[in-house]
C-alpha cells in the first residue's frame, strides 16, 4: 500500500530502494577482477623473482665456494662469489644493520602500496621491486655473521662493474619501470595525470 506522494506504508519499497543503492555501491565482478589482477600479478612476479634470486644464491655458494672465477661468456660475464656487507658498490659496510632496517621499511612500504595498486604495469614494477628488496633482505637476516648483519651473496661480474646478484637486477629493473610509469603519468590506480 502507498500513501500520498508514492511513499510506501509497509516499508517494502524502502528496502528495495536501499538494496538498489547497496548494489550500486558494491563493485561488480568485473570491477573486482580488475582490482585483483594487478595485485595477483604483483604477488606472482614477486614470488618468481624471489625464488630465482634465492635459488641462484644457494647455487652460487654451493658451487663457487673456494673456486676461481668461472667464465660464462668469456670475460664479459664471469661468476665470482662475494659476500657483501654493504650496499651497492660495497659502500656503507659499517651500516649493515641500518641497511637491513631500511630494507624492512621498504618491504612494508611496497606492501602498503600494493593495497592501492590498480594498474597491471604498477603491479609488475612493485612485484619486481619486492622480489629484489626481499631477496637481499633474506641474506641480511639469515646469513652470517648474524641477523640484520648478514652479508649479501653477489656472484655475477661484468667488466668494470661491481659484482651483483639477481635481486640487484630486480631492483634496477623496477627503478627503470617506475621512472617510465612516472614519466607517462600513470598512477598506482591506473589513472593518468592530466
CA angle 32, 125, 138 (to 5 degrees): 105
Q: Is 141 inside a domain boundary?
A: yes
In a domain, 22, yes or no: no
Q: Residue 165, Cα to own-chain centre: how many angstroms?
A: 16
Is 193 part of any domain?
A: no
Residue 192 falls inside a structural domain? no
pLDDT in tens, 9-57: 554 444 545 455 555 556 676 655 666 899 999 999 999 999 999 999 9
How many domains would you assign to the chain? 1
Which cell numbers hold the place of 193?
595525470
Print the domain residue range for 126. 37-183
Q: Does a structural domain hold residue 1?
A: no
pLDDT at 19: 52
Query: Would you say the pTM of this structure is higher than 0.75?
Result: yes
**Residue 44 placed within a domain:** yes
**Tens of pLDDT along 54-113?**
999 999 999 999 899 999 999 999 999 999 998 776 677 888 899 999 999 999 999 999
Has residue 3 been placed in a domain?
Answer: no
Whether 28 maps to a domain, the answer reads: no
Which residues have a catalytic role annotated?
154, 168
Amino acid at each position: 500500500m502507498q500513501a500520498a506522494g508514492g511513499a510506501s506504508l509497509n516499508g517494502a519499497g524502502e528496502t528495495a530502494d536501499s538494496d538498489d543503492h547497496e548494489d550500486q555501491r558494491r563493485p561488480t565482478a568485473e570491477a573486482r577482477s580488475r582490482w585483483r589482477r594487478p595485485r595477483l600479478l604483483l604477488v606472482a612476479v614477486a614470488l618468481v623473482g624471489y625464488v630465482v634470486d634465492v635459488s641462484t644464491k644457494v647455487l652460487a655458494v654451493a658451487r663457487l665456494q673456494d673456486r676461481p672465477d668461472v667464465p660464462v661468456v668469456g670475460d664479459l660475464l664471469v661468476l665470482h662469489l662475494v659476500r657483501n656487507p654493504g650496499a651497492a658498490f660495497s659502500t656503507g659496510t659499517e651500516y649493515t644493520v641500518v641497511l637491513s632496517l631500511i630494507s624492512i621499511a621498504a618491504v612494508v612500504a611496497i606492501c602498503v602500496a600494493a593495497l592501492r595498486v590498480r594498474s597491471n604495469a604498477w603491479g609488475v614494477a612493485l612485484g619486481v621491486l619486492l622480489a629484489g628488496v626481499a631477496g637481499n633482505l633474506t641474506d641480511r637476516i639469515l646469513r652470517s655473521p648474524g641477523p640484520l648483519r648478514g652479508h649479501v651473496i653477489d656472484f655475477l661480474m661484468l667488466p668494470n662493474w661491481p659484482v651483483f646478484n639477481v635481486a640487484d637486477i630486480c631492483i634496477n629493473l623496477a627503478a627503470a619501470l617506475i621512472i617510465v610509469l612516472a614519466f607517462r603519468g600513470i598512477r598506482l590506480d591506473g589513472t593518468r595525470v592530466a
